[in-house]
Amino acid sequence: MSTKGQMEMMETVIALLVFLVLIVLGLVGYGYYMQGSIKDLKQDEQVERSLLLMNYVLNSAEFQCSNNNIVKVNCVDMRKLVAFENLRLDYRELFGFSRIGVREIHPGVEEVYFYDESRGNDKFVRSVPVLIFEGNYRVGMLVVEVYE
Amino acid sequence: MKKGQTEILGIVVVVVLIVLGLLFFIKSPSKVETGNFEVIYAGNTLGVILDYVPYNSCQEKNIGDLLRDCRFECSAGDNTLDACECPCEVAKEEINDVLGKILEEGNFRGYYFDGVKYGNSFIELEENCKDRVGIFGPAYFVGSYEFRLKLCK
């Protein structure tokens, strides 16, 4: 019943099907790749933003400790942090969706978040040791949580 | 073009498509390096330790100043650590305390701290780190003194 023409037609249809399957597999692979690379880009952006915020907090007059015009590096003034809570909204454009605070670890234990504009659960947290000045010096961590 | 040649060309096209498809699965490494942050972390840790003024300090001297007073021998007994009489011992105790607490907060599990004067080490504190690979923060130079900190994972 099957003639030579029908056989060739079948061959062409099978070749087309294989070709389509390959294209679909390629598209699925590309989709996975793009998903992964978008996730990486998002994480890179969060890492960079956390470093920028950390750098800003440690090097800006709004938070730094100073005495007789001498600035102490890696030190935040607790009284400035408390006062900053009233200015929070003015810094929204700069800090974006993030949560920034200090956690005292020595000699006592205390935690103060002076900027809190958290959103959702997808966050990147980074902390670095700092000196906290409030009449005397304490050791703590500057904690920066960056939200998506 | 003969039928055989056409089929070979088809196979070549299919192979090229498969290779292109596989290339998508090979991911490029993330651009942001975490190594730089760890160096900053170690540098900050050393700076914070040297600038920290303990409650029981002598004349509000920070750890860096107390370490520079290490040349004075401790005259008190072991149980009465006064920073004016035993600056070195108080500094060592505080450094161990502070570093222990900072390590609890981060990804590091050990440290090696040393102070050098004119090339001679006069203080050495360590916990699971001395002979291991670790991250050195930038050294601190105060006069003829040099302080270094290595953090190990």
ipTM here: 0.72
Q: How many Cβ atoms sit within 10 Å of the Cβ of residue B150? A: 21
Given a cut of 80, whether residue B17 has pLDDT beyond it is no
Alpha-carbon gap: B72 to the closest alpha carbon of chain A (Å):
25
Average pLDDT rounded to a whole number, residues B111-126: 86
B52 in reach of chain A (CB within 8 A): yes
Alpha carbons A89 and A84: distance in angstroms, whole number: 10
* Chain A residues close to B47, C-beta within 8 Å: 73-74
* Chain A residues close to B45, C-beta within 8 Å: 129
Average pLDDT rounded to a whole number, residues B106-126: 85
Under the banding of pLDDT at 50, 70 and 90, the label for residue A26 is confident
Domain carrying residue A19? 4-147
Alpha carbons A59 and A112: distance in angstroms, whole number: 19
Give the pLDDT score at B80: 61
Alpha-carbon gap: A138 to the closest alpha carbon of chain B (Å):
7
What's at A23, amino acid-wise? I
Alpha-carbon gap: A123 to the closest alpha carbon of chain B (Å):
17
Q: Which of A49, A59, A143 is nearest to A99 (CA)?
A: A143
Number of structural domains chain A divides into: 1
CA trace torsion A57, B48, A138, B88 (10° rounding): -170
Query: For residue B109, with 0-12 CB atoms within 10 Å meaning exposed, 13-18 middle and 19 or more buried, which class applies?
Result: middle
- Of A26, A136, A139, nearest to B21 by CB-CB distance is A26
Under the banding of pLDDT at 50, 70 and 90, the label for residue B33 is low
Average pLDDT rounded to a whole number, residues A84-103: 86
| Residue with tokens 């599990």, as numbered in its chain | B109
* Extents of the domains making up chain B: 34-152
Give the pLDDT score at A13: 92
B55 in reach of chain A (CB within 8 A): yes
Give the pLDDT score at A131: 92
* Chain B residues close to A127, C-beta within 8 Å: 105-106
* Chain A residues close to B98, C-beta within 8 Å: 106, 139
Across the interface, whether the CB atoms of B27 and A37 are under 8 A apart is answered yes
* Chain A residues close to B102, C-beta within 8 Å: 105, 129, 139, 141
DSSP B117: E
Give the pLDDT score at A17: 93
Given a cut of 80, whether residue A104 has pLDDT beyond it is yes
